[in-house]
Structure 1
Amino acid sequence: MKRFYLFIAILVMMVLSACGTGNEKEEASATKEDAVWSGIEKRGKIIAGTSGTLVGASTYEEGTDKLTGYDVELMREIGKRLGLDVKFEIMGIDSMLPAIQSGRIDVAVNDIEITDKRKKQFAFSNPYKYSYTTMVVRKEDNSGINSLEDLEGKRAGGGATTIFSQIAEHFGAEVVTYGNAPNEAYLRDVHNGNTDVIVNDYYLSKFGVAAFPEFDITLHPDLKFHPTEQAVVMDKEATVLQTKINDALQEMREDGTLSELAIKFYQEDASKKPEGEIEEIEGLDL
């Protein structure tokens, strides 16, 4: 009889231990998911990485040190709705995603495209911008580019890790990288022939060209390709933060704030999908 009771006691302990292990795993998972949000709440601010070099998206007002742009003001509005300040860390696009992984920043807002490959490593908000890709070329001859295939052998200015540089390389262009350089450096090089083309977002390209009328550059008149969606990027485990940002973005979309900001900075409603036919590119590993 004593052996029977001892067996029952051991069995109960094993069941309780198993339950405890399951609960501990659930608690550990929840703690990891809440950690980013808990840290943000504790300090009372979101630390956001951005470049300060993208006209329309993240730039400084001329002659001042005031950072502004669609992505910047959108992030400030998200912070306001979450009852938090937003501190911006200025860095190159190639440094932003590693800075999320290291914990240096909480989010990145810099016209960053959602891709399948990036979604394996990071969490994204719902899209706040819809666009497509085009090219900045020389006015006189479109830099000898009449199709995507004509990129072969051309010199394309761009960031080392951007989707746009991957597209240029996919079609045989040599990518010339600049680090966190201002738009002027990229555009001037196309103008003076140091490079031939910039493959980039339609809205950013449009405003870049308009900002330097003295340059012999233009948007390519015919090529519209690779439709894109841009979003706030954060740590893969930051699901609480992701939910709260998505809730704020949904409020902004419903009350018209998102459209107002997009029109203010892009003169078009970039918060909605563009109309017209946009060519999809096959074979890109994005």
Structure 2
Amino acid sequence: MNKVALLALALTVSVASAAAPQTLTKGVLKIGMEGTYPPFTYKDDKGNLTGFDVDIAKAVAAKLGLKPEFVLTEWSGILAGLQANKYDVIVNQVGVTDERKKAIGFSTPYAYSSPQIIVKKSGTFAPKTLADLKGKRVGVGLGSNFEKELRAAGGINVVTYPGAPEYLADLAAGRLDAAYNDRLLVGYLIKQQGLPVRGAGVIGKPEPVAIAMKKTNTGLQAAVNRALLQLKADGTYAKISRKWFGQDVSKP
């Protein structure tokens, strides 16, 4: 038995006596996500919800023996929706920060990425740091960590949008000088959708991404952690990660 499998077995035993997962609806795991954030959560040409986070959410729900039910919400209100009991968990590339940990419970990280500056492909602007964005119009998701980073840097004309498609469209049209988002998203869009944008400077260290839930629901937190470890142990996680990114994104 390999090391991961041993850890999965140990965790299964250790949480066997923990409180049972509490969900809003019996037998159902309600999952909050945007549905407009490829390749993590979006609708395909047939209108079906798909993406890396969708696959992870479905796999976790299966391990928990629960039926996944997706609740689509704009990012700007997604954390408030959790506190208002609109869903049990959020699976939507939620970065783990000290500030968020004060009010929200998190699973163990299931992915890592880094922020990246995005610019128009045909342009000559090639920023390497946030300081290079001073005086520039930069698009970003409203309420995201990326917005907070841009505002903290100072001197940047921050333009907020409900989702990535809107500000990437404005960037491609020349209405923005740059955009700021996740490195994995940038690479996917460039490769899969042929958008006339390119990645520029990668900023900071890899950020852990985890499943968010109410801080008081420790039973659900333990069960989700167990499910994630089991998905890594049986190869399901690696299969999902390679499908979307061609690599294992579960480590920094």
When normalised by structure 2's length, the TM-score is 0.86
Matched residue, 1:257: 236
SS at match of 1:269: coil
More helix by share: 1
Deviations 1:139-188 (A, max 9, x none): 34453524321111111111221111111222232221222x4x432212
More strand by share: 2
Shift of 1:234: 0.4
Matched residue, 2:105: 123
Q: Which amino acid aligns with 1:232?
A: I
* Residue of 58, 67, 70 corresponding to 1:88: 70
Alignment of 1:210 with 2:191, yes or no, is: yes
Matched residue, 1:56: 39
Q: Which amino acid aligns with 1:196?
A: D
Contact 2:140 2:147 in 1 (8 A): yes
Alignment of 1:187 with 2:168, yes or no, is: yes
The separation in 2 between residues aligned to 1:124 and 1:114, in whole angstroms, is 7
* Residue of 137, 140, 145 corresponding to 1:163: 145
Alignment of 1:271 with 2:250, yes or no, is: yes
- When residues 214 and 130 of structure 1 are mapped into structure 2, their CA distance, relative to the original with a 3 A threshold, is closer
Matched residue, 2:7: none
The separation in 2 between residues aligned to 1:243 and 1:38, in whole angstroms, is 11
* Residue of 13, 20, 27 corresponding to 1:44: 27
Contact 1:187 1:208 in 2 (8 A): no
- When residues 34 and 100 of structure 1 are mapped into structure 2, their CA distance, relative to the original with a 3 A threshold, is farther
Q: Which amino acid aligns with 1:125?
A: S
Higher deviation after alignment, 128-137 or 163-172 = 163-172
Matched residue, 2:204: 225
Matched residue, 1:17: none
Matched residue, 2:13: none
Higher deviation after alignment, 188-197 or 88-97 = 188-197
- When residues 203 and 214 of structure 1 are mapped into structure 2, their CA distance, relative to the original with a 3 A threshold, is closer
Q: How many residues align?
A: 234
Q: Which amino acid aligns with 1:235?
A: K
Matched residue, 1:65: 47
Shift of 1:110: 0.7
Q: Which amino acid aligns with 2:176?
A: T
Matched residue, 1:145: 127
When normalised by structure 1's length, the TM-score is 0.76
Q: Which amino acid aligns with 1:225?
A: G
Matched residue, 2:96: 114
Deviations 1:208-242 (A, max 9, x none): 23344252x2111x534242010100001010000
Q: Which amino acid aligns with 2:139?
A: G
Q: Which amino acid aligns with 1:176?
A: V
Alignment of 1:240 with 2:219, yes or no, is: yes
The separation in 2 between residues aligned to 1:218 and 1:78, in whole angstroms, is 33
Q: Which amino acid aligns with 1:253?
A: K
Segments of 5+ residues of structure 1 without an aligned counterpart are: 1-32, 274-286
SS at match of 2:95: coil
Matched residue, 1:7: none
Matched residue, 1:176: 159
- When residues 264 and 152 of structure 1 are mapped into structure 2, their CA distance, relative to the original with a 3 A threshold, is same
The separation in 2 between residues aligned to 1:92 and 1:209, in whole angstroms, is 23
